[in-house]
Amino acid sequence: MAMIHEQFKAGQLTLPKSMSSQDYTELKHLMYTKGFNVYAKKAFGGPDQVLEYLGRYTHKICISNHKILKMTKTHVTFRYTDRKKNQLKCKTICGVKFLKLFAEHILPMRFIKIRHIGFLAPRFKARNLKSIRKHLKVYPHEVIKYKNTRDFITATTGMDPHLCPNCHKGAMVISPHPPACGSFILMSRMDIDSARAEISQS
């Protein structure tokens, strides 16, 4: 209220045409007699649940590629989490409806998901965080560096992309196969080792 009144005194507050300066003064006095309290309802699951919920929208797209299980010319099958039952479920819907649901998560032009202010403002974040960590004696976690894409995918998804989907033992590699048509075929490491052993024996 004090800031609104400062704007009024500076002539920066636009009042409705039906309201005079006297009406504003009477309304201001009336508002000061009221008690204002910010109502912030406690989260059911606590702050961790709130951060986990918001994190899905501030730094992620609405659905990840690995959750899309199957696509046809007319329908899309995807996996989702039923939050009420805390279960993973699959659902198949037509492609038009899927695109409609996806488009609902696209922000309008010039809107952004989140904007940091204060000590997290982009312009001063690096300098401020360094100073804050120094005073709090808190240091950032060491950044994990992966040797290659395979190590990164294995660490983040728990699945080795080079592992043979059939035997779950051999390592899948791309190997040229020149005799027939010169195309590339996919062979497991075990198959390659067996072929080399046969060649060496002959």
pLDDT tens digits, residue range 88-132? 999 999 999 999 999 888 888 877 777 677 888 877 888 888 898
Contacts of 164 (CB under 8 A, 6+ apart): 170, 171, 172, 188, 189, 190
Whether residue 164 is predicted with pLDDT greater than 90 in this model: the reply is no
Give the mean pLDDT of 168-194.
57
Give the mean pLDDT of 170-180.
64
Segment of 73-82, 124-133, 161-170 carrying the highest mean pLDDT: 73-82
Average pLDDT of the chain, as a whole number: 79
pLDDT of residue 89: 94
pLDDT of residue 197: 58
**Least confident window among 11-15, 75-79, 100-104, 192-196:** 192-196
Give the mean pLDDT of 133-141.
85
Distance CA 93, CA 100 (A): 11
Q: Where are the domains of the chain?
A: 61-103, 160-201
